[in-house]
Amino acid sequence: MDQMPSSQTTTAPARTPTGSGDTREGFIYALSAYLLWGFLPLYMKAVAYIPFAEIVAHRIVWSVPVAGVVLLFLRRTADIREAFRSPRTLVMAALTASVISINWGVYVWAIAVDRAVETALGYYINPLVSILMGATLLGERLDRYQIMAVGLACLAVLVLTVGSGGLPWISLILALSFASYGFLRKTLPIGPAQGFFLEVLLLSLPATIYILWLGLAGKGLFVTGGWYDTVMLLLAGPVTAVPLILYASGAKLLRLSTIGIMQYIAPTLIFLIAVFVFGEPFGVDRAIAFTLIWTALAIYSWSMLAGRRKRG
């Protein structure tokens, strides 16, 4: 979920082969991805006893073979060879990889310290942050409904700031880092599956060095722990790569507006798990803030769908 593309940040064209509507296969792929992202906190809570940096390192390292197998199946390995011949592509991939690693690290840490509600809020805010970035960085014009939605999101952040005595920095970092990732990812001249493989491949060198250092220092649970620790860390790769690859497949077969609505599945599941499974507190200030965000997202979604009907 921590790498969950939004309707504003998707890197794959959200169109069917004919460009006329959604397909059943696309819906199944995308729904599977969002459900996996929504239930990801259950896995993260199960490995919460492991230092978050070690989990992130293993997410990177074990994502490489999973993404590599997918590229072999798709017969797109030539794209990676071409990318390594382009210094600009490598620099941009290193930048997007660095940004998404920040997102992963904050997400893993937040789940471990019982702040999953704040991660849900961050991913609810994300599409609204993307709208704001488009307006400020790309000069995109906002309609009155989008301005209203962004305003309500800002009001929600203000409510949480006053209620908790400080900025909801976990939510803001997750939203800003992923919106920035989506913005920068658009400049990477490579497909979503190839781009993900290139990103984790570039990150795998420092991640591998860190894992080896932990092992030599007797601190890494992958070797020094029991079989449960080893298996759970091995699973870090599939739980990271599989939903993203499913999403990339689904986004090609769905309209952008469909993906835009479906993106709320994951943060909703995270929110429900945080409150009803993890038992995290949900006070009056959070209730007001989430109501404001849900209202903002309803306005944003209605504006998006209405705009599409006018263009259609």
- Phi, psi of 255, deg, nearest 5: -70, 155
Q: How many other C-beta atoms can be found within 10 angstroms of the C-beta atom of residue 133? A: 18
Does residue 48 sit in helix, strand or coil? coil
Report the C-alpha gap between 155 and 149 in whole angstroms.
10
Q: What are 197's two structure tokens? A: 């493989």
Report the C-alpha gap between 191 and 204 in whole angstroms.
20
DSSP code of residue 195: H
Could you tell me which residues come within 8 angstroms of residue 175 by beta carbon, excluding any fewer than 6 positions away?
122, 123, 125, 126, 128, 129
**Domain extents for the chain?**
24-311
Q: How many other C-beta atoms can be found within 10 angstroms of the C-beta atom of residue 72? A: 10
Distance of CA 67 to the CA centre of its chain: 16
Instruction: Give me the tens of pLDDT residue by residue for the chain, a chain 312 residues long.
Output: 565 554 444 433 434 444 446 788 888 988 999 999 999 999 999 999 999 999 999 999 999 999 999 889 888 888 899 999 999 999 999 999 999 999 999 999 999 999 999 999 998 888 888 888 878 887 777 788 888 888 888 898 888 888 877 788 999 999 999 888 888 887 778 887 888 899 999 999 999 999 999 988 888 888 777 889 999 999 999 999 898 888 877 877 877 667 777 888 889 999 999 999 999 988 888 899 889 989 988 888 787 777 666 665
Report the C-alpha gap between 38 and 101 in whole angstroms.
19
Report the C-alpha gap between 38 and 188 in whole angstroms.
27
Could you tell me which residues come within 8 angstroms of residue 230 by beta carbon, excluding any fewer than 6 positions away?
221, 222, 223
Q: How many other C-beta atoms can be found within 10 angstroms of the C-beta atom of residue 288? A: 15
Please classify residue 154 by burial: count the beta carbons closer than 10 Å to its beta carbon, then call 0-12 exposed, 13-18 middle and 19+ buried: middle
